[in-house]
Structure 1
Amino acid sequence: MLNINQLNLLGWQSFFQQQLDIDEWYNSVPVRVVEQHRNRLVVDSGSDTFQLPLTEKVSQCVVGDWLLLNEKHDVNRVFERKSYFARRAAGSKLEKQAITANVDVAFVLCSLNDDFSLNRIERYLALVNEAGCEPVVMLTKADLANDGLEKREQVQNLSSMLRVEVIDCHDVTLVNQLSDWLKPQTSIVLLGSSGVGKSTLSNTLAQTQQKTIAIREQDSKGRHTTSGRYLLKLASGAVLIDTPGMRELQLSDVTAGLEQTFSEIEALASSCKFVNCSHSNEPKCAIQQAINDGSLTERRFLNYQKLRKENQFNTASLRERRAHDKSLTKMYKRVQSQAVKFKKLKE
């Protein structure tokens, strides 16, 4: 029978419990993926941690996923996900790369030094909003900057509903400052570029000693050794998922997330005189009027256009790739089937 108290420490919620039938309740073992490696997964049942080979059944699993095992630790199935983060793979690869799953809150880290970028924050917000999670922007390295409140206001102006915190990742009192989110059964993911303080924040909240390297003066970036995704249990009862710094975050399949992130622009566009308004030089364009009266910055509108085009291109490209791969798979199966029939005829 399930030990709910132990599972709760891993972020177990009623969403997953409702997916179990009576037999599974008594004869199966739910586990959560806490580490992901090239050829194996590390999973935790609450009472034990062990490794699973990366078979076809779990090949698409990521840190945060819940699996249902039998008593021999064979995988019966993967639980339906509550949320899912993915991006287009970095570089020229035409494929989607999973980041994490089953997250409730996303801490989007951006340092107050040269890394600070409203455009990049909006990019991450589109990803988080698409996943249906609560975004919290963490402006880090407050101990090295004197304009934290000014930049906090800039980020807050993106949305009155957005929570923004200015933090020093080394501060041991952060547990109190971030208590609104560090609640039992809450799963939190850390997102951000390399060197913004994710590992340091993880160390502080979990009171662990993951290796970090001091900030480099010449480019204001820190260096750390996070090379994979992993899940940590916190004393508060929440769980924390750390991820490697992303040098590139290409958006794909985040149309709803973009609409939510730039909701005021979507509303303005619907008020334009012409349905097919390009928002450039048409008369009575609500967006251009907003830019002129200062209620919408040109920077924000241009970034909206850029991210929207990027999302449309990547979404279409990946859809074509998936259709092509599906067609190839069907062809291979047909050829194999014909080969088997031909062999039988020869016999």
Structure 2
Amino acid sequence: MTDTTLDDLGWSPHFSRQLTDDDIGEPARVSAVHRSIIEAITPRGTLKLSMPESAGNYAVGDWVLADAGAATRRLDRLTELSRRAAGEVAYTQLIAANVDTLGIVTSCNADFNIARLERYLALAETGGCLPLIILTKADQCDDPTSFVRQAERLSPLITAIALNAKDVEDAERLAPWCSNGKTLALVGSSGVGKTTLQNRLTGVVHATADIRQDDAKGRHTTTARFLRKTQTGGWLIDTPGMRELRLTDASEGIDQVFSDLAELATECKFNDCAHESEPGCAIRAAIASGDLDPDRLERWQKLEAEDRHNSATIAQKHARARQTEKKYDQGRAKGRQKRGN
């Protein structure tokens, strides 16, 4: 990597401004996170670094300062993608950091789901990334443009592309989003073609799995996140297929995705309108006139309720952890007092 510069790795003035005279080490970009170490890329090559914090505080795509085999400091992120972790545990799980574009991969078949796309769009908006909807298996569909139109109707800011992930020239249409140091992250269900796209864009071949014919879903082939260089000079982060994407602290992103409803709600007679049977509800009026699909209102309310629940649950867990730590500190202080007496 002797010809690679920091700019080639995705460095920007956002990170330069954070450097101080007291900093120790050289900038390095995290390419993989393991339990006890992180791997990071510098213009000199790849490093393995120990971490001053837990692995959960680092994400693929992060920038750190590296010195003597250790990460001495993590720089503040420009963008951050995270979710509530799967299962019953209540904590935030980092997905990726410093991503320019979030490639939301679905396919022109039974996997296409408006509610799921809105969820991923809220993730992109919350994280500060540009959303790009990538519709794969276009070669297996009679009318892929119908899927493109459905995706584009979700927001005027959306770019949607239908392609055949197995076709090299088709995959190269994604080059503008992962060239010249730009970072593209791919998210979506298993079996929609994320790994195939990664193979085409990076030249690194990883195994792909067949999809089930009854529901168009596939088995997981990507089991971890890695930052890989693309053949056009950018970076790609492929993520494991997500069975569930639970949003947390995403209220602003949800409002952006459903900006038409959020704006319409300001015209309701009551500030706390639940949009059910209240008089003067602008949203119910729009539904009655046929200007608004009631299913869209239901999806908006569902995401808002989920986000409130997940955010509150994680906040409560953090509060309990702080209380426990405070009790331990008090107990240790009392123990030192007794020993001193």
TM score, norm. by length of structure 2: 0.93
Counterpart in 1 of 2:89?
Answer: 93
Q: Secondary structure at the match of 1:180?
A: helix
Q: Does 1:295 align with 2:291?
A: yes
Q: Does 1:49 align with 2:40?
A: no
For residues 270 and 264 of structure 1, the distance between their equivalents in structure 2, rounded to whole angstroms, comes to 10
Q: Secondary structure at the match of 1:324?
A: helix
> 1:180-329 counterparts in 2 under 5 A?
180-329=176-325
Distance 1:43 1:102, change over 3 A: same
Consecutive unaligned residues in structure 2, runs of 5 or more: none
For residues 162 and 221 of structure 2, the distance between their equivalents in structure 1, rounded to whole angstroms, comes to 24
Distance apart, 1:59 and its partner CA: 4.5
Distance apart, 1:179 and its partner CA: 3.5
From 62, 71, 76, the equivalent of 2:72 is: 76
For residues 107 and 308 of structure 1, the distance between their equivalents in structure 2, rounded to whole angstroms, comes to 23
Q: Secondary structure at the match of 2:236?
A: strand
CA RMSD of superposed structures (Å): 2.0
Counterpart in 2 of 1:32?
Answer: 29
Counterpart in 1 of 2:5?
Answer: 6
> 1:99-248 counterparts in 2 under 5 A?
99-248=95-244
For residues 147 and 92 of structure 1, the distance between their equivalents in structure 2, rounded to whole angstroms, comes to 41
Distance apart, 1:11 and its partner CA: 1.4
Q: Secondary structure at the match of 2:237?
A: strand
The one-letter code sitting in structure 1 at the alignment partner of 2:91 is E
1:181-209 CA distances to partner (integer Å, 9 max, x unpaired)? 23312111111112211111111111220
Counterpart in 1 of 2:61?
Answer: 64
For residues 4 and 50 of structure 2, the distance between their equivalents in structure 1, rounded to whole angstroms, comes to 27
Q: Work out whether residues 106 and 135 of structure 1, in 8 Å CA contact, stay in contact via their aligned partners in 2.
A: yes
The one-letter code sitting in structure 1 at the alignment partner of 2:235 is V
**Number of positions where the alignment pairs a residue of Structure 1 with one of Structure 2:** 340
- More deviation, 314-323/336-345: 336-345
1:99-129 CA distances to partner (integer Å, 9 max, x unpaired)? 1111111001112222111000001111110
Distance apart, 1:246 and its partner CA: 0.8
Consecutive unaligned residues in structure 1, runs of 5 or more: none
Q: Work out whether residues 51 and 71 of structure 2, in 8 Å CA contact, stay in contact via their aligned partners in 1.
A: no
Distance apart, 1:178 and its partner CA: 2.2
Counterpart in 1 of 2:18?
Answer: 19
For residues 270 and 88 of structure 1, the distance between their equivalents in structure 2, rounded to whole angstroms, comes to 29
1:261-294 CA distances to partner (integer Å, 9 max, x unpaired)? 1000001001123333221223332212222333
Q: Work out whether residues 211 and 224 of structure 1, in 8 Å CA contact, stay in contact via their aligned partners in 2.
A: no
The one-letter code sitting in structure 1 at the alignment partner of 2:242 is M
For residues 329 and 56 of structure 2, the distance between their equivalents in structure 1, rounded to whole angstroms, comes to 21
Q: Secondary structure at the match of 1:158?
A: coil
The one-letter code sitting in structure 2 at the alignment partner of 1:69 is A
Q: Secondary structure at the match of 1:42?
A: strand
Q: Work out whether residues 175 and 182 of structure 1, in 8 Å CA contact, stay in contact via their aligned partners in 2.
A: no
Q: What percentage of aligned pairs have identical amino acids? A: 38
